[in-house]
Chains A and B, each alone.
Chain A
Amino acid sequence: DAKTTQPTSMDCAEGRAANLPCNHSTISGNEYVYWYRQIHSQGPQYIIHGLKNNETNEMASLIITEDRKSSTLILPHATLRDTAVYYCIVSPTTDKLIFGTGTRLQVFP
């Protein structure tokens, strides 16, 4: 079973920041937080991952709370191409990624 809870859907205006929350209250000390997204009819795409420090790359930022029980994925300037299902996954390894139901992000003009 997935160990994360995400909102079913969110909307975001183009050009604005999209903040996608994820609860993982039972996360273990050796588990990382991974974010993937799946654009319609495509394979999932890796976005970012982190253990306890905040992380940033060219796609997004990941903010993990100090107690590690929740995190937020931030897309700083959402575009229409960011419309997708976003999956938050916690796992000690990438061998067995267990995808939850994810958040369907709709970016509108």
Chain B
Amino acid sequence: DTEVTQTPKHLVMGMTNKKSLKCEQHMGHRAMYWYKQKAKKPPELMFVYSYEKLSINESVPSRFSPECPNSSLLNLHLHALQPEDSALYLCASSLRTGRDTQYFGPGTRLTVL
């Protein structure tokens, strides 16, 4: 099983809402990643978790709050987002950080009204 799953597929939220994105993998990977991809742009790294601990935060605004409750699950909590945060949010995982291949999920398409 080389699958990373993300839920929901689509999400529409208002600027005052609180919502969460979920990412799951059952490959025994200990590194997980969040990327943001705006339309017609390449993916941009947001966060990296290694062994359930946050190892990289690419200066992401605090309205995005990641959480890694266990080695299989990665959440991204969203609060007070702006319309410019509308994007495709991609999750990825790899066996470890370093040189192991990253496997990406299909993404959650987020629209902020």
Contact = CB atoms under 8 A, between A and B. Distances in A.
Interface of A: 2, 32, 38, 41-46, 49, 87, 93-102
Contacts of B105: 43
A95 B101 contact: no
A46 B97 contact: no
Interface in B85-113: 90, 92, 94, 97-107
Query: Taking chain A's interface residues, is the majority helix, strand, or loop, or is none over half, making it mixed?
Result: loop
B104 A43 contact: yes
Given A94-B97, A95-B97, A96-B48, A46 B103 contact: yes
Given A95-B56, A96-B48, A96-B56, A44 B43 contact: yes
Contacts of A45: 104
- Which among A42, A101, A102 has the greatest number of chain B C-beta atoms within 10 A? A42
Interface residues of B, number: 24
A95 B107 contact: no
A95 B48 contact: yes
A100 B92 contact: no
B107 A43 contact: yes
Nearest to B90: A43
A97 B102 contact: yes
Interface string B48-70: 10000001100000000000000
A95 B98 contact: yes
B91 to A, nearest CB: 8
A6 to B, nearest CB: 11
A44 B104 contact: yes
Contacts of B101: 46, 49, 94
Given A43-B4, A43-B105, A98 B45 contact: yes
A43 B42 contact: no
Nearest to A101: B42
Given A43-B4, A43-B90, A44-B90, A102 B42 contact: yes
Contacts of B107: 41-43
Given A43-B4, A43-B107, A44-B90, A94 B102 contact: yes
